Structure 1
Amino acid sequence: MYLKQLIGFFIRASRDHRIGPHHVALYVAIFQEWCIQNGKSPVSVTQARLREVAKIGRTTYHKCMKELEGYGYIKYLRSYSPILGSLVYLVELDR
Protein backbone atom coordinates (compact mmCIF):
# COMPACT_ATOMS: atom_id res chain seq x y z
CA MET A 1 0.00 0.00 0.00
CA TYR A 2 2.73 2.47 0.97
CA LEU A 3 4.93 1.86 -2.06
CA LYS A 4 1.95 1.91 -4.40
CA GLN A 5 1.08 5.41 -3.18
CA LEU A 6 4.61 6.74 -3.49
CA ILE A 7 5.26 5.13 -6.88
CA GLY A 8 1.91 6.46 -8.10
CA PHE A 9 2.95 9.95 -7.05
CA PHE A 10 6.33 9.73 -8.78
CA ILE A 11 4.81 8.41 -12.01
CA ARG A 12 2.13 11.09 -12.08
CA ALA A 13 4.50 13.89 -11.02
CA SER A 14 7.05 12.93 -13.68
CA ARG A 15 4.37 13.54 -16.33
CA ASP A 16 3.14 16.79 -14.76
CA HIS A 17 5.18 19.80 -15.90
CA ARG A 18 3.77 21.91 -13.03
CA ILE A 19 5.46 19.80 -10.35
CA GLY A 20 8.90 20.96 -9.27
CA PRO A 21 11.42 19.89 -6.65
CA HIS A 22 9.70 21.79 -3.83
CA HIS A 23 6.42 19.99 -4.53
CA VAL A 24 8.22 16.64 -4.49
CA ALA A 25 10.02 17.44 -1.24
CA LEU A 26 6.79 18.54 0.43
CA TYR A 27 4.83 15.52 -0.81
CA VAL A 28 7.55 13.17 0.45
CA ALA A 29 7.44 14.94 3.85
CA ILE A 30 3.66 14.42 3.96
CA PHE A 31 4.12 10.81 2.86
CA GLN A 32 6.65 10.27 5.66
CA GLU A 33 4.16 11.56 8.25
CA TRP A 34 1.48 9.31 6.71
CA CYS A 35 3.78 6.29 7.14
CA ILE A 36 4.62 7.27 10.73
CA GLN A 37 0.87 7.45 11.41
CA ASN A 38 0.42 3.91 10.00
CA GLY A 39 -1.11 5.00 6.70
CA LYS A 40 -4.16 6.50 8.38
CA SER A 41 -6.07 9.23 6.65
CA PRO A 42 -6.25 12.09 7.27
CA VAL A 43 -2.65 12.74 8.22
CA SER A 44 -2.23 15.18 11.09
CA VAL A 45 0.64 17.53 10.24
CA THR A 46 2.22 20.75 11.42
CA GLN A 47 3.68 23.33 9.12
CA ALA A 48 6.89 23.48 11.15
CA ARG A 49 7.50 19.73 10.87
CA LEU A 50 6.77 19.53 7.14
CA ARG A 51 8.91 22.57 6.39
CA GLU A 52 11.78 21.10 8.39
CA VAL A 53 11.63 17.75 6.59
CA ALA A 54 11.10 19.27 3.13
CA LYS A 55 13.75 21.95 3.70
CA ILE A 56 11.49 24.75 2.46
CA GLY A 57 10.44 28.17 3.75
CA ARG A 58 7.03 29.44 4.82
CA THR A 59 6.08 31.08 1.52
CA THR A 60 7.10 28.03 -0.50
CA TYR A 61 5.20 25.78 1.92
CA HIS A 62 1.92 27.67 1.48
CA LYS A 63 2.36 27.94 -2.30
CA CYS A 64 3.14 24.25 -2.73
CA MET A 65 0.37 23.03 -0.41
CA LYS A 66 -2.16 25.11 -2.34
CA GLU A 67 -0.82 23.84 -5.66
CA LEU A 68 -0.64 20.18 -4.61
CA GLU A 69 -4.27 20.44 -3.61
CA GLY A 70 -5.24 22.31 -6.78
CA TYR A 71 -3.45 19.76 -8.96
CA GLY A 72 -5.29 16.88 -7.27
CA TYR A 73 -2.47 15.25 -5.28
CA ILE A 74 -3.81 16.02 -1.79
CA LYS A 75 -6.80 17.42 0.04
CA TYR A 76 -5.64 20.02 2.57
CA LEU A 77 -7.67 21.14 5.56
CA ARG A 78 -5.66 23.98 7.02
CA SER A 79 -5.77 24.66 10.74
CA TYR A 80 -4.83 28.04 12.09
CA SER A 81 -3.86 26.48 15.42
CA PRO A 82 -0.16 25.67 15.79
CA ILE A 83 -1.08 23.15 18.48
CA LEU A 84 -3.71 21.15 16.58
CA GLY A 85 -2.00 21.14 13.21
CA SER A 86 -3.66 20.63 9.84
CA LEU A 87 -5.17 17.58 8.18
CA VAL A 88 -4.00 16.21 4.84
CA TYR A 89 -5.63 13.46 2.80
CA LEU A 90 -3.40 11.76 0.24
CA VAL A 91 -5.36 11.23 -2.96
CA GLU A 92 -5.03 7.66 -4.26
CA LEU A 93 -2.72 7.89 -7.24
CA ASP A 94 -3.14 4.73 -9.27
CA ARG A 95 -1.06 4.20 -12.34
Structure 2
Amino acid sequence: MERLMPIMGFYVKAQGDVRLLPTHQSLYLALFFLWRQSGCTDLFTVSRRELMPLARLQSIATYHKCIRELKAFGYIEYLPTYNYYEGSKVRLIYEGGYEV
Protein backbone atom coordinates (compact mmCIF):
# COMPACT_ATOMS: atom_id res chain seq x y z
CA MET A 1 0.00 0.00 0.00
CA GLU A 2 2.82 2.38 0.83
CA ARG A 3 4.12 2.09 -2.71
CA LEU A 4 0.82 3.46 -4.01
CA MET A 5 0.79 6.52 -1.74
CA PRO A 6 2.36 8.92 -4.26
CA ILE A 7 -0.16 8.14 -6.99
CA MET A 8 -3.10 8.12 -4.58
CA GLY A 9 -1.94 11.38 -3.02
CA PHE A 10 -1.48 12.92 -6.45
CA TYR A 11 -5.05 12.18 -7.50
CA VAL A 12 -6.50 13.31 -4.16
CA LYS A 13 -4.74 16.66 -4.60
CA ALA A 14 -5.37 16.82 -8.37
CA GLN A 15 -9.15 16.51 -8.00
CA GLY A 16 -9.43 20.11 -6.94
CA ASP A 17 -6.56 21.52 -8.99
CA VAL A 18 -7.96 23.16 -12.11
CA ARG A 19 -4.44 24.02 -13.32
CA LEU A 20 -3.63 20.40 -14.15
CA LEU A 21 -4.07 19.19 -17.70
CA PRO A 22 -3.97 15.63 -19.04
CA THR A 23 -0.33 16.21 -19.99
CA HIS A 24 0.55 16.88 -16.33
CA GLN A 25 -1.23 13.71 -15.26
CA SER A 26 0.45 11.66 -17.95
CA LEU A 27 3.89 12.95 -16.98
CA TYR A 28 3.27 12.32 -13.27
CA LEU A 29 2.16 8.76 -14.05
CA ALA A 30 5.37 8.23 -16.06
CA LEU A 31 7.39 9.59 -13.11
CA PHE A 32 5.54 7.23 -10.78
CA PHE A 33 6.39 4.31 -13.10
CA LEU A 34 10.10 5.21 -13.08
CA TRP A 35 10.01 5.68 -9.31
CA ARG A 36 8.68 2.13 -8.95
CA GLN A 37 11.35 0.84 -11.37
CA SER A 38 14.04 2.55 -9.32
CA GLY A 39 13.03 0.54 -6.27
CA CYS A 40 10.93 3.34 -4.74
CA THR A 41 14.00 5.31 -3.74
CA ASP A 42 13.53 8.75 -2.25
CA LEU A 43 15.39 10.58 -5.02
CA PHE A 44 15.57 8.90 -8.42
CA THR A 45 17.14 9.70 -11.77
CA VAL A 46 15.11 10.52 -14.88
CA SER A 47 15.82 11.69 -18.39
CA ARG A 48 13.69 13.51 -20.90
CA ARG A 49 14.48 10.86 -23.49
CA GLU A 50 13.01 8.22 -21.19
CA LEU A 51 10.01 10.20 -19.89
CA MET A 52 8.62 11.66 -23.10
CA PRO A 53 7.65 8.33 -24.73
CA LEU A 54 6.26 7.00 -21.44
CA ALA A 55 4.08 10.09 -21.00
CA ARG A 56 3.21 10.17 -24.73
CA LEU A 57 4.54 13.71 -25.03
CA GLN A 58 5.63 14.75 -28.51
CA SER A 59 6.92 18.24 -27.81
CA ILE A 60 10.05 19.06 -25.82
CA ALA A 61 8.49 22.42 -24.96
CA THR A 62 5.42 20.68 -23.50
CA TYR A 63 7.64 18.34 -21.49
CA HIS A 64 9.62 21.23 -19.98
CA LYS A 65 6.46 23.23 -19.27
CA CYS A 66 4.79 20.29 -17.51
CA ILE A 67 7.80 19.30 -15.42
CA ARG A 68 8.33 22.93 -14.40
CA GLU A 69 4.65 23.32 -13.46
CA LEU A 70 4.50 20.03 -11.53
CA LYS A 71 7.38 21.39 -9.47
CA ALA A 72 5.77 24.83 -9.05
CA PHE A 73 2.42 23.27 -8.06
CA GLY A 74 4.11 21.16 -5.36
CA TYR A 75 3.70 17.69 -6.85
CA ILE A 76 7.40 16.94 -7.33
CA GLU A 77 10.82 18.17 -6.35
CA TYR A 78 12.90 18.48 -9.51
CA LEU A 79 16.66 18.90 -9.53
CA PRO A 80 17.71 19.36 -13.15
CA THR A 81 21.14 18.56 -14.43
CA TYR A 82 22.51 19.74 -17.69
CA ASN A 83 24.80 16.74 -18.03
CA TYR A 84 23.32 14.44 -20.68
CA TYR A 85 24.87 11.33 -19.13
CA GLU A 86 23.92 12.03 -15.52
CA GLY A 87 20.15 12.61 -15.63
CA SER A 88 17.98 14.84 -13.48
CA LYS A 89 16.79 13.92 -9.99
CA VAL A 90 13.13 13.79 -8.95
CA ARG A 91 11.34 13.29 -5.64
CA LEU A 92 7.59 12.61 -5.63
CA ILE A 93 5.57 14.59 -3.10
CA TYR A 94 2.12 13.44 -2.11
CA GLU A 95 -0.88 14.84 -0.26
CA GLY A 96 -0.23 15.87 3.29
CA GLY A 97 3.16 17.31 2.45
CA TYR A 98 4.91 14.00 3.02
CA GLU A 99 7.67 13.09 0.67
CA VAL A 100 8.38 9.62 -0.55
Q: Indicate the TM-score class for this superposition, using the shorter chain for normalisation.
A: over 0.9
**Which of 60, 63, 73 is the equivalent residue of 1:61?**
63
> Structure 1 residue runs of 4+, over 4 Å off?
none
* Residue segments in structure 2 that go unaligned for 5+ positions in a row: none
Q: Which amino acid aligns with 2:16?
A: R
TM-score (norm. length: structure 1): 0.94
CA contact (8 A) 2:31 2:51 kept: yes
Deviation string for 1:41-84 (max 9, x for gaps)?
21100111001100112001100011000000001001111211
| Cα distance in 2 for residues equivalent to 1:7 and 1:93 | 8
Q: Give the Å deviation of 1:15.
A: 1.0
| Cα distance in 2 for residues equivalent to 1:20 and 1:11 | 15
- Say which SS state the counterpart of residue 90 (structure 2) adopts: strand
Q: Which amino acid aligns with 2:4?
A: L
Alignment-derived partner of residue 76 in structure 1: 78
Deviation string for 1:2-47 (max 9, x for gaps)?
2122111011112100011000000001100000011102110011
Alignment-derived partner of residue 22 in structure 2: 21
| Cα distance in 1 for residues equivalent to 2:67 and 2:21 | 12
| Cα distance in 1 for residues equivalent to 2:94 and 2:28 | 13
Q: Which amino acid aligns with 1:34?
A: W
Q: Give the Å deviation of 1:93.
A: 2.1
Percent identity, aligned pairs only, is 35
- Say which SS state the counterpart of residue 94 (structure 2) adopts: coil
